[in-house]
Chains A and B, each alone.
Chain A
Amino acid sequence: MKRPVLIWLPALFGLLLCGLFYAGLRNPDDHIIPSTLVGKPLPEFDTPAALPGRGGVASADFTDGKPRLLNVFASWCVPCVQEVGVLARLRERGVDITGIAIHDSTTEVADFLARNGDPYGAIGLDNEGRTQVAFGSTGVPETFVIDGTGRILYQHIGVVTDADIPKLLDLMREGR
């Protein structure tokens, strides 16, 4: 009648389950869904200009041999205010920053830049989140490093801070 192995199986299973839960608790889900396009050519997109007199943004603009930062932002995004200052310092060091404003309007963007400074070259307006989804981005702000051949080198999720500047500069150099 005795089948010792079988009898201890449930206890073993219970232990394994607890171990799994412990591992799960120690490594809580960061809720970050990175874009799987990193390392691949940037997707096809074409956005109209957010501001009159400045160009819109399209994928063809990124294949001219110059590496660029693509910053996804919005005038209604509170942390973006803080980030604009850091982007301005990057621009001072010669980084070309292209902006994509998500769910925004010409007046709001103009107002936002007037208040917080303007580190951008071209700014595209993406009112239906098309470019955002095309990049596999999940929110604002997000920053992509794109090399001279139009390949996505890196995705930075969340606010870019001064601490991130050296890493971004390195990537820009790499992308040349």
Chain B
Amino acid sequence: MIAETGLCALWLAASLALAQLVLGLLSLVPERATYRVMIPRVAIAQALLASLAFACLLAVFVTSDMSVLLVAANSHSAKPMIYKIAGTWGNHEGSMLLWVTILALAGASIALFERRLREDTRAATLAAQAAIAIGFYAFLLIASNPFARIAGVSDGQGLNPLLQDPGLAFHPPTLYAGYVGMSAAFSFAVGALLTRDVGPAFARAMRPWILGAWIFLTIGITAGSYWAYYTLGWGGWWFWDPVENASLMPWLAATALLHSVTVLANRDALRAWTIMLSVLAFSMSMVGTFLVRSGILTSVHSFAVDPERGIFILALLAIYIVGALTLFGLRIGSVSEGKRFDIASREAALVANNLLLCIVLVVVMAGTLYPLFLEALAGTKISVGAPYFNTVAGPVAIILLVLLAAGPLLRWRRDDPRQLLDRLAMPVLVAAATVLALVLLGGDIGALPMLGLVTAALVIAASLAPLWKRNLRRTPLFTWGMVVAHVGCGVSLAGMASDSAFTQENLVAMAPGETRDIGPFRVTLEGLREVPGPNYVALEAVLSSRRGDEAPEEMLPQLRQFSDPPMQTTQAAIKTYWNGQLYLVLGDQSEGGRWVVRMWWKPFVTLIWLGGAMIAFGGGLSLLGRVRRKQPARAAHLPPLAAPAPGPVGQPA
């Protein structure tokens, strides 16, 4: 009964989305402008119905209703409750339902809270949002009904053990929220193109959505990276795998968009480019969904793939992207260019930022898709992996980060380059000190990691500079946000460079009682034991690690044997210290009865994810600052351009 209610709600939501689209388009005709009143209500009702459908699916998963095909295929009654809940979106149909539910909720919040836009632009935006939703409703209802029934199943097939992790409860929904947030930015762009309303007001309306989506993408990528790091059991945190790249591409586009929309909102420049980037960011989200769901590229992280359904997503992708880009081509000629700026200005720095981010995007995209292209065209099989991405995107990213150090120290519109050098003196000194320290410490660490560490020091020092000699309590929240996010970039880079420069690895075979060294640690295998888990049996190694004269720490890596479905996974034992992580993995028994233990000492590796969290937190501060600042600005009826720019040295140029 619950399943049928869900299906019914889904159909109703789909028809409301259709109504929302038709009403929205009709209301663009001046005589029918009164239709606009209805649209927000329809959008809210649609969101309620979609949420009901999702709640129904959640309910059948929680109660392990094995008469529902999806539950039978992906769940198991003996599974812990958190994975029953998370299992709702750990499969294709459920994740698509989650997608469309978040999309509908985003539409409803535009309808409820968005008051800054012109009314016709808002109606057009909601129509665009509905157009996207219809595609996904159709996809669910026609090609992947999550509520289909099945008879005669006693218990389910279970969830892939690799997915039975708290990460699943967290990682996909955040990424989806990010993707869907990008769809809001896309809808704003399409709406503004339809009503020819591209300007600062539109940019300010769009900005919180971009910020929100970008925060979610950042969290999603950071969390996903850490999840892979501790789950896959080989100490790697980024593999340049197609699915990872699929989440990185929208992030790169969103980061560029975030910066260009700031230029548009503050200086009324980069109009066409910002529109282009919103379309690009959403396109990348769709490409990401397509790559992950269609299984067109093989990946460690792809689960529940289905090429048949890939065609459907591809059709949606084609309609939205080509449709939006055609609209762009038709309308962008009538969008004027906006205000002028000098080459030495914050605007120019942000243009360079956008350019370099796009280059990194091109590199990631080329590396991900070129093997596919070559195979389709010439039948040649090649692989493009970490060596390509690191050597090509790495240097571009370093230049980008050096620019990131300088950019916030520039004034809007025009600045004196000599003054910039003055402002950069301190950070450059810090970077020079880092070089000296690294050389003195006897660093034979390779050119790229060295460059990374020095750049990280430069970025962190320079990002703090805008706060220099400033009343910290009167510094606006969004300036704090920028500072925290930029420092986060430096911190993350420091972690990456440190990991590749200083990580020590020792792969050993040990008999109980034996001791091996890794970095500053002595690790002893005390013994092995069997440990029952909720739905697996684990073989656990009892290891004790001792650093210098400190008390020994017990480390318990496991090999887990699951029965539904039958599969073996490794559970690494990770101990975090202030200056790094000790990472121990139990392998198989080797000849002679010894046990393989893989040991890594990774100095400062945690900075990678700490930096990611800081970037997201900085985004959150900015978002809070924007939302809080909105009210007085509106009350005073300030003309858009009088909004004070967040200048680096306190006063507007």
Contact = CB atoms under 8 A, between A and B. Distances in A.
B314 A20 contact: no
A29 B333 contact: no
Interface in B255-289: 276, 279-280, 283, 287
Given A7-B328, A11-B326, A18-B314, A27 B276 contact: no
A24 B376 contact: yes
Given A2-B333, A27-B376, A21 B290 contact: yes
Interface string A1-40: 1100001101100110110111111011101010000000
Contact of A25 (B311, B332, B337): B311
B298 A11 contact: no
B333 A1 contact: yes
Contacts of B337: 1
Contacts of A29: 296-298, 375
Interface in A43-96: none
B150 interface: no
Contacts of A23: 376-377
Nearest to A23: B376
B283 A14 contact: yes
Given A14-B321, A20-B376, A24-B296, A7 B287 contact: no
Given A20-B369, A25-B311, A11 B376 contact: no
Contact of A17 (B279, B287, B294, B376): B287
A97 B318 CA distance: 53
B322 interface: yes
B352 interface: no
A22 B315 CA distance: 9
Nearest to A28: B307
Contacts of A17: 287, 321, 369
A11 B314 contact: no
Contacts of A11: 322, 325-326, 328-329
Interface in B299-332: 307, 310-311, 314, 317-318, 321-322, 325-326, 328-329, 332
Contacts of B326: 11
**Chain B interface extent, by class:** 20 to 34
B372 A14 contact: no
Interface string B218-243: 00000000000000000000000000
B381 A33 contact: yes
Interface string A108-140: 000000000000000000000000000000000
Contact of B329 (A1, A8, A18, A24): A8
Contacts of A8: 329
A91 to B, nearest CB: 34
Interface string B75-105: 0000000000000000000000000000000
A118 B317 CA distance: 55
Contacts of A24: 296, 372, 375-376
B577 interface: no
B468 interface: no
A7 B314 contact: no
Nearest to A16: B373
Decide if the interface of chain B is mainly helix, strand, loop or mixed. Answer: helix
A44 B216 CA distance: 55
| Residue in B294, B329, B375 with the greatest tally of chain A CB atoms within 10 Å | B329
Contacts of B296: 21, 24-25, 28-29
Nearest to B333: A2
A126 B276 CA distance: 58
Contacts of A21: 290, 294, 296, 310, 314, 317
| Residue in B276, B314, B326, B376 with the greatest tally of chain A CB atoms within 10 Å | B376
A21 B315 CA distance: 10
A12 to B, nearest CB: 9
B294 A25 contact: yes
A2 B330 CA distance: 11
A82 to B, nearest CB: 22
B325 to A, nearest CB: 4
Given A21-B314, A25-B311, A29-B375, A14 B322 contact: yes
Nearest to A14: B321
Nearest to B279: A10
B376 A31 contact: no
Contacts of A27: 375-376
B276 A20 contact: no
B375 A7 contact: no
B314 A22 contact: yes
A18 B322 contact: yes
Contacts of A1: 333, 337
A28 B297 CA distance: 9
Contacts of A15: 318, 322
A11 B319 CA distance: 11
Contacts of B325: 10-11, 14
Interface in B369-391: 369, 372-373, 375-377, 381
Interface in A139-162: none
A111 B369 CA distance: 48
A48 B375 CA distance: 39
A130 to B, nearest CB: 16
A112 B132 CA distance: 58
A18 B317 contact: yes
A119 B652 CA distance: 87
A22 to B, nearest CB: 6
A28 B296 CA distance: 7
Contact of B328 (A2, A10, A25): A10
B321 A18 contact: yes
B373 A20 contact: yes
Nearest to B298: A29
A33 B376 CA distance: 16
B340 to A, nearest CB: 14
A7 B329 contact: yes
A11 B322 CA distance: 6
Nearest to A25: B310
A25 B314 contact: yes
Interface string B543-580: 00000000000000000000000000000000000000
Nearest to B280: A10
A11 B328 CA distance: 9
A48 B559 CA distance: 33
A21 B279 CA distance: 19
A160 B233 CA distance: 37
Nearest to A33: B381
B318 A18 contact: yes
A23 B376 CA distance: 6
12 contacts: A7-B329, A10-B280, A11-B329, A18-B314, A20-B373, A21-B317, A22-B314, A24-B296, A24-B376, A29-B298, A29-B375, A33-B381
Interface of B: 276, 279-280, 283, 287, 290, 294-298, 307, 310-311, 314, 317-318, 321-322, 325-326, 328-329, 332-333, 337, 369, 372-373, 375-377, 381
Given A1-B337, A10-B329, A11-B329, 18 more contacts: A14-B318, A18-B317, A18-B318, A20-B369, A20-B373, A21-B294, A21-B310, A21-B314, A22-B311, A24-B296, A24-B372, A24-B375, A25-B294, A28-B295, A29-B296, A29-B298, A29-B375, A33-B381
Sorted nearest first, the 9 A-B pairs with minimum C-beta distance are: A11-B325, A23-B376, A18-B318, A14-B321, A24-B296, A10-B325, A7-B329, A8-B329, A24-B372
